Amino acid sequence: MSKFEIYKDGGGEFRFRLKAGNGQNILASEGYKAKSGCTNGIESVRANSQDDYRYERLESSNGSPYFNLKATNGQVIGTSEMYSSFSAMENGIASVKSNAPGATVEDLT
């Protein structure tokens, strides 16, 4: 079963990651100073994950495809891993679309 994990990073900020049912990370957040900001970020992922226009498809400097999921205000709410191909990246987007709405939340803090 897919889940959002809330955790604290080395700098003390709250972050979340969306994990597929197989345990693979499919989306990671930026850092939040407050846990409430982190939980709001999760709700924003749920709300925006179904809209294909919210996915910004990108290519890193070394040519690896990846994507950002953006909120309605244009702010990045999640970033994918680097993929080996554009088709693999599209599969990652499809995974966020299918997993985010029903994912449980596990607080590891």
Q: For 52-101, how does the pLDDT look when each residue is reduced to its tens digit (9 = 90+)?
A: 999 999 999 999 999 999 999 999 999 999 999 999 999 999 999 999 99
In this prediction, what percent of the chain has a pLDDT beyond 70?
100
- Burial of residue 108, with CB atoms counted within 10 A of its CB: 0-12 exposed, 13-18 middle, 19 or more buried: exposed
DSSP state of 84: S
Q: What is the pTM of this model?
A: 0.93
Of residues 22, 16, 5, the one with CA closest to residue 91: 22
